[in-house]
């Protein structure tokens, strides 16, 4: 064969969700990324999460910018609209789409170049506005499509494939997100789906901006010895700081844990994130403490992962997310009939008295 096709056949025992869909129904066409690319594993985790959450694919808006990460929305949810826009500008497009129709489940997939260099401003402002979206950074520390230049997330001292050493300090999206008020902040690893899938589910259900930085090794340009974003380096320095489970609203928590070992945070729709094995001196709802803790772990050479920070749902229920701030009606704006938007001739006549 000279092209690759993924046969439609699936495991005969493949489960269906309440929509009658199998996990395979949430796939897209075959990835054209390099074999072994971490992004493909993230795609698989996204597929899993959407399937488990039983979200109808066509209710989803898949947003991306440019770069390897920008291509990935093609590879999941073929029955969802996608928007592969321009470099670093995915947050703006998502903001617009979300403003027009907040019932769309927005997932943005970005990369370290897309979010931390050319799109740093938009990334920051989307967090500031607390757009209701899951924002994934597929973070590999390099520019892939332009053949391996360091990106803004490349660690100080990391080595490029050609041997040069990076002498600029990285921008850490997790620290940045904590600083800018993101309400859901996580870091994970493409090679750890057990951790990744619940985080993605939580991020999708979170009302507001969910920032998930995912180390996603570039097998072609950044998986060599000396790289700090390789599979091997990531595994060697991995510290799963917080383990989080996603529990949908209707489901009872059955597993029992030692008291004090588990902490449950309820989200606006009744979904819960259940934190397990949290270190004693760590409070995933205390922004300052989380910031300090992660800085500390970084100094110790560790990559702290997990759902690191989750803001409490504001008690007024109004929410600090985009539509709450905007004061928009519950019905998506796109659903309003013209008749309810246009004031009409009489109102115009009345109004124009002011202009005389």
Partner 1 sequence: MALDTQVLVNGGPPATASRVNDLAFKIGTVNGTGSASANGLLRSAIFRMGIPVSGKNLFPSNIQGLPTWYEIRANRDGHTARTARFDLIVAMNPATYARDVEEVTTGGWVMHDSSWPLPRDLNRDDVHFLGVPLAKMTVDNFEGSRVRILMKNICYVGALAALLDIDMEIVRGLLKETFAAKAKLLDANFLAIDLGYDYAREHFDCPLPVHLAPMDGNEDSIVIDGNTAAALGCVYAGATVAAWYPITPSTSLVDAFTAFCNRFRKDPETGRNRFAIVQAEDELAAAGMVLGASWAGARSFTSTSGPGLSLMSEFIGLAYYAEIPAVFFDVQRVGPSTGMPTRTQQGDIQFAAYASHGDTKHIVLFPCDPRECFDFAVKVFDLADRFQTPVFVLTDLDIGMNDWAVPKLEWDDSYRPDRGKVLSAEDLEEASGAFRRYLDVDGDGIAARTLPGVHPDGAFLTRGSGHDRYGNYTEDSEPYADVLARIGRKIEGAAPHLPAPEVRLREGATIGLLTVGGCRGAVLEAVDELAEQGVDVDYMRVRAFPFHPDVEEFLMDHDVNFVVEQNRDGQLRKLLITETRVDKDRLASILYYGGYPMSCHHVIDGLAST
Partner 2 sequence: MGGGGGRGGEPVAICRLKRVASDLRDDIRPFLPDIPEEKNGKRIACVGAGAASLTVANDLMPLGYEVTIFEKLAAPGGLMWTNIPEFRLPAKVLWEEIEYITDMGVDLRLNSPVDSLAALLEEDYDAVFIGSGAPKGKELNLPGRWDSEQVHIGIDWLESVRFGHVESCGDRVLVIGVGNTAMDCCRTAQRLGASDVKVMARKTKPHFKASPWELEDAIEEQVEILENHSPSKFIVEDGQVKGMVFDLVSWHEGEGGRLKAEVHDSKVIECDEVILAIGQDTAFPWIERDIGIDFNNWDMPIVDKTTFMTSRTGVFMGGDAAWGPENIIWAVEHGHQAAISIHAYCHGESLTDRPAEGMNLVSQKMGLHEWTYSNDYDEAERVKMRHVDLQERFKRLDIEVEEGFDIEQSLTEVERCLNCDAQTHFETDLCIECDACIDICPLDCLTITHNGPEEELTGRLTAPLLNPEEPLFISEDLPQTGRIMVKDEDLCIHCGLCAERCPTAAWDMRKSDLLIPYAGLDAGEVHPGMSIMDLAGAGAR
CA distance 266 to 308: 15
Size of the site for partner 2 (CB under 8 A): 35
Q: Which stretch binds partner 1 (CB under 8 A): 80-88, 159-167, 220-228, 274-282?
A: 80-88
19 binds partner 1 per the rule CB under 8 A:
no
Residues 4-23 that bind partner 2 (CB under 8 A): 4-14
208 binds partner 1 per the rule CB under 8 A:
no
Q: Which does 12 bind (CB under 5 to 8 A by kind): partner 1, partner 2, none?
A: partner 2
Tell me the torsion sign for CA atoms 61, 174, 196, 109. positive
Is the Cβ–Cβ distance between 54 and 78 less than 8 Å?
no
Q: What SS3 class is residue 330?
A: coil
Q: Which stretch binds partner 1 (CB under 8 A): 46-54, 97-105, 229-237, 276-284?
A: 97-105
The separation between CA 88 and the C-alpha centre of its own chain, rounded to angstroms, equals: 15
Task: Give the one residue of 130, 153, 158, 190 binding partner 2; rule: CB under 8 A.
Answer: 190
20 binds partner 1 per the rule CB under 8 A:
no
Min CB(14)–partner 2 separation in Å: 7
Min CB(344)–partner 1 separation in Å: 6
Tokens of 29: 């066409």
320 binds partner 1 per the rule CB under 8 A:
no
Q: Which stretch binds partner 2 (CB under 8 A): 230-238, 250-258, 270-278, 319-327?
A: 230-238
CA distance 301 to 237: 7
Residues 194-223 that bind partner 2 (CB under 8 A): 217, 219-220, 223
Pairing of strands 184-189, 209-215: parallel
In this structure, the number of other CB atoms found within 10 A of the CB of residue 284 comes to 24
CA distance 144 to 151: 10
Nearer to partner 1, 82 or 198 (CB): 82
DSSP-assigned beta bridge partners for residue 246: 273
Q: Pick from 51, 46, 97: which is nearest to 75 by CA?
A: 46
Q: What SS3 class is residue 231?
A: helix
CA distance 138 to 68: 9
129 binds partner 1 per the rule CB under 8 A:
yes
Nearer to partner 1, 14 or 348 (CB): 348
Task: Give the one residue of 24, 89, 287, 297 binding partner 1; rule: CB under 8 A.
Answer: 89
Residue 257 C-beta-side C-alpha neighbours within 13 Å: 13
DSSP letters, 112-154, are: HHHHHTTTHHHHHHHHHHT-SEEEEEEE-SEETTTTSEE-TTP
35 binds partner 2 per the rule CB under 8 A:
yes
Is the Cβ–Cβ distance between 43 and 76 less than 8 Å?
yes
Min CB(1)–partner 2 separation in Å: 5
Q: Which does 83 bind (CB under 5 to 8 A by kind): partner 2, partner 1, none?
A: partner 1
Q: Which does 219 bind (CB under 5 to 8 A by kind): partner 2, partner 1, none?
A: partner 2
Tokens of 40: 């493909």
Q: Going by C-beta distance under 8 Å and a sequence separation of 6 or more, which residues neighbour residue 8?
A: 24
Task: Give the one residue of 21, 26, 28, 38 binding partner 2; rule: CB under 8 A.
Answer: 38
DSSP-assigned beta bridge partners for residue 303: 238
Is the Cβ–Cβ distance between 104 and 59 less than 8 Å?
yes
Q: Which does 37 bind (CB under 5 to 8 A by kind): partner 2, partner 1, none?
A: partner 2
The residues of the shown chain that bind partner 2, judged by CB under 8 A, are: 1-14, 24, 31, 34-38, 40-41, 43-44, 190-191, 193, 217, 219-220, 223, 231-232, 235
The residues of the shown chain that bind partner 1, judged by CB under 8 A, are: 56-63, 73-74, 77-86, 89, 91-101, 103-104, 121-122, 124-125, 129, 323, 326-330, 333-334, 336, 338, 340-345, 347-348, 351-352, 355-356
């Amino acid at each position: 064969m000279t092209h690759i096709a993924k046969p439609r056949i699936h495991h005969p025992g493949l489960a269906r969700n309440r929509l009658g869909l199998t996990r395979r129904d949430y796939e897209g066409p075959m990835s054209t990324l390099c074999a072994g690319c971490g992004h493909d594993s993230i795609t698989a985790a996204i597929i899993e999460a959407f399937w488990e959450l039983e979200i109808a694919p066509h209710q989803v808006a898949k947003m991306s910018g440019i770069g390897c990460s920008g291509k990935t929305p093609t590879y999941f949810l073929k029955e969802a609209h996608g928007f592969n826009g321009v470099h670093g500008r995915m947050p703006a497009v998502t903001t617009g789409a979300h403003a027009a129709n907040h019932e769309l489940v927005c997932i943005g997939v970005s990369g370290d170049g897309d979010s931390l260099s050319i799109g740093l401003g938009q990334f920051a402002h989307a967090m500031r506005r607390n757009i209701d979206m899951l924002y994934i950074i597929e973070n590999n520390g390099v520019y892939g499509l332009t053949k391996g230049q360091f990106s803004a997330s490349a660690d100080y001292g990391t080595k490029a494939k050609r041997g040069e050493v990076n002498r600029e300090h990285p921008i850490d999206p997790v620290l940045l997100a904590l600083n800018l008020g993101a309400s859901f902040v996580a870091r994970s690893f493409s090679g750890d789906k057990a951790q990744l899938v619940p985080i993605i589910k939580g991020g999708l259900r979170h009302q507001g901006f969910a920032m998930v930085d995912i180390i996603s090794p570039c097998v072609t340009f950044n998986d060599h010895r000396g790289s700090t974003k390789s599979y091997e380096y990531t595994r060697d320095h991995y510290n799963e700081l917080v383990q989080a489970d996603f529990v949908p609203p209707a489901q009872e928590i059955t597993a029992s844990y030692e008291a004090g070992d588990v902490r449950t945070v309820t989200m606006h729709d009744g979904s819960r994130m259940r934190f397990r094995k949290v270190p004693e001196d760590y409070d995933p709802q205390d922004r300052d403490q989380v910031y300090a803790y992660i800085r500390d772990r970084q100094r110790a050479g560790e990559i702290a992962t997990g759902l690191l920070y989750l803001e409490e749902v504001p008690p007024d229920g109004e929410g600090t997310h985009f539509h709450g701030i905007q004061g928009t009606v519950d019905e998506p704006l796109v659903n309003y009939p013209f008749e309810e938007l246009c004031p009409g001739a009489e109102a115009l006549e009345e109004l124009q008295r002011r202009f005389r």
